[in-house]
A and B are shown apart, each in its own frame.
Chain A
Amino acid sequence: MRRFLTDTLSTVNRLQHAFTGHVLLYHSTFSVVPGEIRRNLHNVTPEVLSQQLAWLKKYFDIVDVDELFGENIDVTGKVAITFDDAYQSVFSEALPIVEALDIPCTIFLNGASLSGKPFWRDKSRYLINQSLVDDFLTFCPSYAETHNLTTDNFYRASKLPRVNSAEFDGVVDEYMTNKGIQPNAVEYCVNNRQMLRDHPLITYGNHTYRHYVLSSLSDEQQEHEIGDNHRMLNELGLKVSRVFSIPFGGDADLNEATTRILDQYGYEGFLYSRGAINFGRAS
């Protein structure tokens, strides 16, 4: 019955080629997600990824995400594949699939990970998965109270624009140092430039230096987050996208300063992550 339903949906969805365009967002692609970050991580296993991409390749035109930007571009029937945060599993598990299917993809990187600084959201997931949130809130009672952080809302509240991400990350670092937790306990994103493959099918894109909520930052901090990563990417000598991926990707996660800075750096456009698809022409 389930198989019948999936086959029926697949048949109906093929028709979308005639009027929709998709930009798919993946994060990690672990076969088995490490226990330290399991809860709250968006993961698609290599097996499912392969199934999804093979289906898309059969019924849609898979293109580089940059090809969906520009005046009078029609996105109908096109699909772009993107991976945010550059988890190591993308390089070890997803890229062989992408290569075997001969489809392009874009990996949006955070430069801080490459410099050996663990991804701050993985640190948050670590605290949750290790049942350390209560202990963390006890460690910084006034900070938690000021920002209305509780055990129940910890994950969601810590990524709201009202909580300055840089400040929050600093408090978590203090806590981890105080508890003797080694930073490499949460190093799951690419932390070595040698891992970045130079391949005609792979493009690298700007996802800010530290993946902070841009609208939670001052204009100057935003300039650093976007600009530092922009420069780092251009120094890699790899194929770089002219499209920017907004960390968290919601309406409230960027503001006017964000678009102004992106425009200054010459970005063609940006990607939301609002659970939606695209239709027709850009303008």
Chain B
Amino acid sequence: MATKDFYTREEQLILAAQVDQYGYEGFLYSRGAINFGRASSRQRLNGLMYRERYMVRSTFAGFQTQILRLCVKGVVRR
């Protein structure tokens, strides 16, 4: 199945609801692609896109340390 087979977003939602109704965990695409880590699940929740944020540290030095740590943490998790 390819993305275009879902037609509209409304139809996608109806199909997803039907799949869910019968207790399926999910579905498989056949789009000639492989999967990497948790990349796709990190970017959407219940179909809605999200982004990550962080509360900025209150000093410039603390901020520099913070973004380096976040970067390392992010790379390791990926």
Interface of A with B (CB < 8 Å)? 2, 5-6, 9-10, 12-13, 16, 20-27, 42-45, 48, 51-52, 55, 65, 68-70, 75, 82, 243, 249, 254, 256, 259-260, 262-263, 267-280, 282-283
Contacts and interface: CB of A to CB of B under 8 A. Distances in A.
A55 to B, nearest CB: 7
Given A10-B64, A25-B56, A273-B55, A16 B71 contact: yes
Q: Which of B67, B74, B78 lies at the interface centre, i.e. has the most chain A CB atoms within 10 A of its CB?
A: B67
A180 B43 CA distance: 47
B7 interface: no
Contacts of A273: 53-55
A282 B74 CA distance: 15
Contacts of A276: 52-54, 70, 73-74
A45 B55 contact: no
A24 B54 contact: yes
B48 A274 contact: no
Contacts of B56: 24-26, 44, 52
A262 B56 CA distance: 26
B60 A277 contact: no
Chain A interface, >50% SS class: mixed
A271 B54 contact: no
Interface in B26-46: 39-40, 43-46
B50 interface: yes
Contacts of A260: 46
B67 to A, nearest CB: 6
13 contacts: A6-B64, A42-B58, A43-B58, A52-B56, A55-B60, A271-B51, A271-B52, A275-B54, A276-B52, A276-B54, A278-B51, A280-B39, A283-B40
Contacts of A5: 61
Given A16-B71, A75-B51, A272-B50, A259 B45 contact: yes
Contacts of A268: 49
A57 B17 CA distance: 44
Contacts of A277: 52, 54, 67, 70-71, 74
Given A13-B64, A48-B58, A275 B40 contact: no
A275 to B, nearest CB: 5
A25 B53 contact: yes
A52 B70 contact: no
B68 interface: yes
A277 B55 CA distance: 11
Contacts of B59: 48
B48 A283 contact: no
